[in-house]
Amino acid sequence: MIPGLLGEPFGFKHTKTCLDRKVAKRLLAQAKETFPLEYSALLAGQDARITSHIPMASARPSTDAFSWDSAAFFQALQLIKQRELQWLGVLHSHPATPPVPSATDQRGWHYPQLGYWILGLAGDEPELRLYQWENGGFGERSFLYVDSSLP
């Protein structure tokens, strides 16, 4: 792994993870464009604040799973590093199910210090949830939407 790349969005005792509203809007728009397939992205920023994302094309497009090509994954990590950001999490959509980690999500998660975001598109309104891996499973965490000065 690239030194200094992994952030720890849950490592700040009195600070909630924050998601920039503009990033959230872009993630939702891109997930809707990908629907009914799953959408995924790497989330980046500093400390506990997500200010950027990199959409990740699935190596095997599916309605109920996502996977990445290794070369594309490492290129995305290099881009995060070039932007002088930290990798803070992964987001993926659940086009037909609630935003709750599936058994596949749990088996495939290898970065417990990062946030695991799921965007549920099955209901009348999209629903975004954040999870943290603790004690062998995912626990839901609260987060804040924040406004930034980004264009």
Residues 21/145, Cβ–Cβ less than 8 Å: yes
What is the per-residue pLDDT for 40? Answer: 96
42: helix, strand or coil: strand
Which stretches of the chain score pLDDT less than 50? none
Predicted confidence at residue 123, as pLDDT, reads: 87
pLDDT value for 4: 75
Please enumerate in sequence order all residues whose Cβ is within 8 A of that of 34, keeping only pairs 6 or more positions apart, or say none. 93
Look at the block and give the residue holding tokens 């009914």: 36
Strand order in the sheet with 40-46: 137-141, 127-134, 115-120, 86-94, 40-46, 49-55, 17-20, 143-146
- pTM flag (> 0.75): yes
- Phi (first) and psi of residue 59, to 5 degrees: -65, -30
pLDDT of residue 93: 97
pLDDT, position 13: 74
